[in-house]
Amino acid sequence: MAKINFGGVEEDVVTREEFPLEKALDVLKDDVIAVIGYGVQGPGQSLNMRDNGFNVIVGQRKGKTYDKAVADGWVPGETLFEIEEALERGTIICFLLSDAAQIELWPTVKSYLKPGKSLYFSHGFGVTYKDQTGIVPPADVDVFLVAPKGSGTSLRRLFVEGKGLNSSFAIYQDASGHAREKCIAMGIGVGSGYLFETDFYKEVTSDLTGERGTLMGAIQGIFAAQYEVLRANGHSPSEAFNETVEELTQSLMPLVAENGMDWMYANCSTTAQRGALDWWKPFRDATKPVFEQLYNSVKAGEQANISITRNSQPDYREKLEVELKELRESEMWQAGTAVRSLRPERS
């Protein structure tokens, strides 16, 4: 593993240089990788592994998602199967269904986990909260995870562009003595940029915090707050949206991604620079108690319980659509639809 300095803290990471694709292919040359579920992470991971030369099959119930897999080039009876047949054929079972769906399918999956097989996750939820999910892997199989730090769509897009999405990896159970190298090989196979080690508990607590925090929940809350203040003070929807969302996502965040926040600060106007330096700490101080409350709720298992309870209800999809409709039909995101339609096409 390579030692990298992260702000004065040394950390071991795995890069493609030290664990190249050729090595990953050799480690998994005798394995059939069965991707169960073709929803959020399934398409990106399976397509990347297929393009990288791994022996991959997909297990999916017939329906719209099955049809999507066919459209993506998976061949029924050859590389696309009903879930039970894929579980039978696979030596590495990639359990990529939603957390709620994993609970429902677990008895079926467990029945196919024969000694010597491997169970792969991209989220530590099911195993970490086993008292609530019932997901307890047999002792004679390897259990590990690779968690790309982004959506399956982003994982695939960056792979096609010749780039990679960083991923965490963790070993929960090493029955064979080779779980670690198999796990890292899977991480290289799905298209990771670099891999950093964690454990199942830390993966799920950081992930649940991030999703509810800066990745999705907090950012939507901050967008809404600034947009509403601007609108209440007479600014037009176009001005409020551009100043709140469009400039951030289209101009500033790409610069932060490429060079860091300090570089972006140093390369904006002195007026913007001064204001940003003066105001970031008050925003930190105002929101840190909310993040602490959120993390404690995750750590106590409250967020897992809410997810399991609500997402398992028969009318979950209908209730979800009501909440998403509230976002979609808000003035801010209606303005966003209009702004995106006006972006000039690149020639």
> What distance, in Å, lies between the first and last C-alpha atoms of the chain?
43
Instruction: Please check if 228 is assigned to a binding site.
Output: no
**Is 47 within 8 Å of 72 (Cβ atoms)?**
yes
Please give the positions annotated as active site.
Answer: 123
Vertex 58: Cα angle to 118 and 64 (nearest 5):
140
Which of 44, 29, 42 has the alpha carbon at shortest distance from 86? 42
Instruction: Please check if 104 is assigned to a binding site.
Output: no
Vertex 137: Cα angle to 136 and 139 (nearest 5):
120
Tokens coding 322: 């009501």
Instruction: Return d(Cα 164, Cα 280) in angstroms, integer.
Output: 30
Place of tokens 């610069």: 255
**Is 172 within 8 Å of 126 (Cβ atoms)?**
no
Instruction: Return d(Cα 189, Cα 57) in angstroms, integer.
Output: 14
Instruction: Please check if 207 is assigned to a binding site.
Output: yes
* Binding annotation for substrate: 269
* Binding annotation: 207, 211, 243, 247, 269
